[in-house]
Structure 1
């Protein structure tokens, strides 16, 4: 259940300013601008099998359409009300108020006029000044507004009318999805929620209560339930049946992601994507299944005293996990984005290999493969709802489940865990207090919410390490455009991330804290947001976003050596703090250089990064001009290294959060022991990526599942068979 959010309502002047901002980033173009954009787009479409008169009409309509006409201001306000913490929403409200006054605009934009009263060139000049300001606070304003406005404009709602022109087909209708699922023999399991029996404050008894239904919690629940223990799984997010998911990107962000996909670090604005629904991160992650690298296992064994990671025990756990979620390395097909990546790696002389997948269908054009990040309506991915949660529900003593249940604290007495206190939405739609008494408490809320829960639970925390050691695998992106006439990339089609390069894994310092290079899946909303970072607001943005289907992307995923922190705010909610260290910046620059060279080797016509100072994609000489092209690539690489990563001047993302309840061999240097049990409270276990001693250096799903499997064996040894069996 999401925390209660104070009513948020913009005033008339704030709404006017917000609408003006939206219509500056995405304006209705004038005749001359429209003619220029139409001419450019028609020249690109001329060689395609399309009715050019229809393309022209659609392009004109797109040029004339403003953000206000698409309903973007209302969508932004609704997001502030639903997903943004009250203090952050209030801060944005103050900004809108300041931009609604002449005095405020003099301070913010250097002009003594309200933002809405300026003409469009004047408004664009103000935004350009914010983007290039020497003050990080002003750059933060620009990046926050741009990302939120463009995302809401193209991820759903009124922006869906533009999808066809962008070459984005969007999700299939539910009846076709259901038919595909039926033809493949996939049968949905409908989970029954305890909420339906709750009409008042309630107390219940279980052998084990598992908090969180993601990878760690699902494995714990399945292992314990199948061993005959009475298990209750509590999930703060909502359970959605397949028919309740639309596959629309914006709706998926609102429903399935933590805080609507708008979590970011408080001090640096690094965007953090995490699952926030039944099934946790497995409900929205990609299907890339990489085992924990051997050098990481050795590091955890030798430097952190966790010997089992270097033994067959952990290897056997990974084997068992891979078997259950159907990980395969054979017959993997690649979409166009991954094909270009593989081709570029091979031509550049860089290492590249197929990435194993936990997909039921890895063939070319597998239905639904490109939409697994928006809720797996096809059940093509072997996520937790298809595997371990289903196992728990089908156990001899079936596990029970509750959604929209926010656990406020773990209860404990004299160093022993006794259960949890929570607030649950009952069958009457009202919140009720839920008290669970249990012999074992398994915290599996993920690396953001697990430390927050432990901090709220007032554990002794004598070493002060709960919430510390936050690792994020920070990601930067290299984007490139294929030449006109080349096959479209359409990176949202087909399975994402089916190839990986470890060319940079050793890192510039040779310490195995380097980076991986992979390919993302980018749908219309996030894709348009990326384009906005490579273009100026207005005409240039509209012209470039029409090339979305021609864009190929490579992510640089850094194994961060240094760390941040999760802290509680005044409402007891987690806030993230993280700064990209000099060491990790060097690793990212190394990866960006190689990603640029890979893209160039694949034959793209233009390439760039998300660094604001570099602006639009850099056009390269044709492949036939070998020396000139090489010199242009070298020049871009030099500029990337020169610019670096000024605060709020580059887009950085995290989809992997780790380490905030660190596992170790000493109570002085860690939060839990090698069995996942808290050093200070017996019977309290942590079973998710928060126990990682360091960042894993690979997509962390398999590592999380493997650790959860090992932790569950210890819990089973500690729990005697239920006396009620």
Structure 2
């Protein structure tokens, strides 16, 4: 299988017109503009540049010199500031493709807001003037973006956050001077050796009006961490298995994918309905296991006991531990071959210095070293033993069949009253030779099956159950997200945060802040340019561009909360998930505790500047020599107190989420959940769910190993039934 999957070529046709684009780019231009001296000659019109004084330029350059040892020359820095993203066709293309990838519902909402901004009343409300924003000066637009950040009405901070995020991500991918001064070159990664392409024998179909009918014993919807494990176990037991996924396989030779084609691997445009939480969810062959960071942590004892206390006694048995061991052994999970990079070493050494609990994080690397900093966009070496490298090839060897590009719309029932499942139906979409764009074959598919296993993930499994007519009010509720706060730290030496393994250490000192197992874990974050610049705070354009130029010296960290409080997921008219989730104050306080802990670790480990991703907290510049620092240093204590007081306002601050759980939770009765302790959906016959949506509560760790062990249990119960 060698076909490349590319992102949608849609640029919001039929939704965005020239007026929309003009207004949008006027705002993005203000977010990351060309900056020049007020007396310097300009290449474009004066209105295309933000002007600063000679003194401001010198102070900003001195800021860089004080925090990194290889600061750019004044000439290079000035040239970098003067570059204008809007003059770069690549930036414009990335923004248009980004808009084209977000759900139609959100496209229409954004277009409506941009329309409103062009009206007289909209101009007054948005920009305090009768002149539309796209016709005002760059300085005026820049000042308005700043004012929106602290506006009392939640709409304005949310809009500011959205426009700034678009500008940051588009700019970090397109600005050549940023890449040059940051010493980052994706070409070096893509020229490295690629791992083995898995020769998946995907079923394909011709174009006909009537649906294609297929037969199998078990159909599994989803090829991720749950579905792939079920496929291997059931196929090896001699049953006919058909695994289907709406995503497509991308071979290692085409990985990692560029950021502007991230919809190849991820569900595009996902965020909570309040805009506060940016959500990453795998949507490809292999699911989240294709894009995760190799962290392979088992379900912790206190979580297992919590689940057992809910009547799910299986989780505290030796049998469950054996299943955890089995899935880890199959993927070669280990700590023996880890080579910690700079930021992971910072966490381990800093925690040890402070007397805090920390440990290496096991990796599913097949008992070998795996130093891939780009795995969040696919593992080029194929060393990471995700589903597409391990479980699915083994399932195919045992006789399982596969279909990529099949979006299942409904589970079919023979008896509506008894809800006895007989199969599924959906729409298959082919890929072209080189992409999944352009003209493609579509065909209705019906699969008749004795058992249906739903493994679409916590955002889509409940939607499929709802579309299939199931009415249990618990479906889609109890959604846990592991809300995450982000933190950046500058170090004097080049740290090259895109190099080495992403997440090989975990600080667990603060995992039980309430005495009931809720708290935060501190881990290293992926250090790719767009991820670092996305979480970098924007207070004004000069500050942001100045801080971003330190990229090669920035380590990124995150505080991941085991959330106590939940949200829900439902469907929009287009079938896309609507995620109602706002981190509660209870959980936000824990995230702040994690950010404070990261600050302390980085301070004692010699960071020269600290960047919490918190709007109202400025960076802290650490001027004292590392060997003379203590946590009692007055300036640091004063700054830390300011961070500790923060509430992380969801209307203004940004959270991220890469784990979704609980929306079809396991329970002892249908009044409290969606499936029983063997994954069977309450009130149905032949329907099972086997993914992270069945978690009774948040796992508190990366859900991969827990999902696989539960899938092992569910598949094993079916095999035992057939025997």
TM-score, length basis structure 1: 0.90
| Aligned twin of 1:92 | 110
1:447 partner SS: coil
Q: Aligned pair in 2 of structure 1 residues 161, 375: CA closer, same or farther (>3 Å)?
A: farther
From 114, 118, 131, give the equivalent of 2:149: 131
Distance change (3 Å), C-alpha of 1:646 and 1:41: closer
SS at match of 1:289: coil
Deviation at 1:652, TM superposition (A): 0.5
Q: Does 1:416 align with 2:436?
A: no
Check conservation: 1:419, 1:436, Cα contact below 8 A: yes
5 Å matches for 1:80-479? 80-81=99-100, 83-154=101-172, 156=173, 158-159=174-175, 162-172=178-188, 174=190, 176-178=192-194, 181=195, 187-196=196-205, 201-251=211-261, 253-259=262-268, 262-302=269-309, 304-360=310-366, 363=369, 369-395=372-398, 398-414=399-415, 415-426=419-430, 429-461=440-472, 464-479=473-488
CA distance in structure 2 between the partners assigned to 1:666 and 1:540 by the alignment: 55
Give the CA deviation at 1:523.
0.6
Task: Give the deviation of 1:199 after TM superposition.
Answer: 5.0
- Checking the alignment, whether the CA contact within 8 Å between 2:412 and 2:423 is kept in structure 1 is yes
3-state secondary structure, aligned to 2:86: coil
Contact 1:150 1:528 in 2 (8 A): yes
SS at match of 2:673: coil
The verdict on how the C-alpha distance between 1:279 and 1:651 changes in structure 2, with shifts beyond 3 A counting, is same
Which residue number in structure 1 is paired with residue 706 of structure 2? 703
Shift of 1:373: 0.9
Pick closer, same or farther for the CA change 1:149–1:425 going to 2, 3 Å.
same
Q: Superposition RMSD on alpha carbons, in Å?
A: 2.5
How far the C-alpha of 1:13 sits from its partner, in A, is: 2.5
Q: Contact 1:411 / 1:418 at 8 angstroms: preserved in 2?
A: yes
Give 1:634 deviation, angstroms. Answer: 2.6
Contact 2:68 2:550 in 1 (8 A): no
| Secondary structure, counterpart of 1:258 in structure 2 | coil
Q: Report deviation, 1:362.
A: 5.3
Q: Deviations over 1:60-109 (max 9, x none)?
A: 4432321212333442222222x212221112112222333443121012
**Residue-by-residue CA offset, 1:97-139 (whole Å, 9 max, x unaligned):** 2333443121012222221222222111100110111111110
1:657-711 per-position Cα deviation (integer Å, ceiling 9, x unaligned): 0000000122221110010011111110100000000000111110001000111
- Of the three residues 84, 88, 92, the one matched with 1:66 is 84
Kept in 1, the 8 Å contact 2:245–2:285? The answer is: yes
Residue-by-residue CA offset, 1:424-446 (whole Å, 9 max, x unaligned): 01478222111110000000000
Which residue among 96, 99, 120 is the counterpart of 1:77? 96
Deviation at 1:307, TM superposition (A): 1.1
**Is 1:560 the counterpart of 2:567 in the alignment?**
no
Indicate if the aligned counterparts of 1:423 and 1:432 stay in contact, CA closer than 8 A. yes
Q: Check 1:668–1:627 CA distance in 2 against 1; reply closer, same or farther (3 A cut).
A: closer
Match of 2:436 in 1: none
Alignment deviations for residues 392-423 of structure 1 (CA, whole Å, 9 cap, x no partner): 1111xx21111111110111133211110101
Which residues of structure 2 form unaligned runs of 5+?
39-51, 432-438
Distance between the aligned counterparts of 1:437 and 1:125, measured in 2? 60
Q: 2:218 touches 2:240 (CA, 8 Å); kept in 1?
A: yes
Q: How much has 1:58 moved relative to structure 2?
A: 5.2
Q: What per-residue deviation string (whole Å, max 9, x for no partner) do you get for residues 27-62 of structure 1?
A: 1221465973795598479955x9x7xx66654443
Paired residues for 1:705-720 under 5 Å: 705-719=708-722
Deviation by residue 1:214-251 (Cα, 9 ceiling, x = unmatched): 00000011111111111111111122222333542332
Task: Give the match for residue 518 of structure 2.
Answer: 513
Question: Do structure 1's residue 480 and structure 2's residue 489 form an aligned pair?
Answer: yes
Judge which range, 693-702 or 487-496, deviates more: 487-496
- TM-score scaled by length of structure 2: 0.90
Query: d(CA) in 2 for partners of 1:62 and 1:340?
Result: 30
Deviation at 1:209, TM superposition (A): 0.4
User: 1:599 aligned to 577, 599, 602, which one?
Assistant: 602
Give SS of 1:29's match. strand
Residue 641 of structure 1, CA deviation: 3.0
The 3 A distance-change label for structure 1 pair 106 and 73 is farther
CA–CA separation in structure 2 for the residues paired with 1:338 and 1:468: 35
**1:488-507 to 2 correspondence within 5 Å?**
488-507=494-513
CA contact (8 A) 1:226 1:392 kept: yes
- Give the distance between the partners of 1:198 and 1:629, measured in 2 at CA: 71
**Alignment CA distance shift 1:361-1:551 (3 Å):** farther
Partner of 2:42: none
Asked if 1 retains the 8 angstrom alpha-carbon contact of 2:256 and 2:375, the reply is no
2:76 and 2:428 map into 1 onto residues whose CA distance is: 48
4+ aligned runs moved over 6 Å, structure 1: 1-6
Task: Find the aligned partners of 1:717 and 1:199 in 2 and give their Cα distance.
Answer: 40
| Cα offsets for 1:342-393 (capped at 9, x unmatched) | 2221222211111111114754xx55x1111111111021111111001011
Residue equivalent to 2:48: none
Q: Is the 8 A contact 1:455 1:466 kept in 2?
A: yes
Measure the CA separation in 2 of the matches of 1:636 and 1:42.
20
Q: Distance in 2 between matches of 1:108 and 1:307?
A: 56
1:613 paired to 2:632: no
1:536 corresponds in structure 2 to 539
Maintained 8 Å contact 1:621/1:629 = no
Contact 1:520 1:555 in 2 (8 A): yes
Residue by residue, what CA displacement relative to the aligned partner does 1:247-267 show, whole Å, maximum 9, x if unpaired? Answer: 42332x2311111xx311103
Partners of 1:524 and 1:176 in 2: CA distance: 19
Tell me, yes or no, if the aligned pair for 2:476 and 2:664 is still in contact at 8 Å.
yes
For residues 547 and 170 of structure 2, what CA distance do their matches in structure 1 show? 18
> 1:524-545 CA deviation, whole Å, 9 max, x = no partner?
11211222x2x33422221111
Residues 211 and 234, structure 1, Cα contact 8 Å, conserved in 2: yes
Task: Tell me: CA distance 1:346–1:246, structure 2 relative to 1, closer, same or farther (3 Å).
Answer: closer
Residues 173 and 530 of structure 1: CA distance in aligned 2, closer, same or farther (over 3 Å):
closer
Number of residues of Structure 1 aligned to a counterpart in Structure 2: 689
Per the alignment, in what secondary structure is the counterpart of residue 645 of structure 2? helix
Equivalent residue for 1:572? 575
Question: Which shows bigger deviation, 230-239 or 285-294?
Answer: 230-239
**Preserved CA contact (<8 Å) 1:515 1:556:** yes
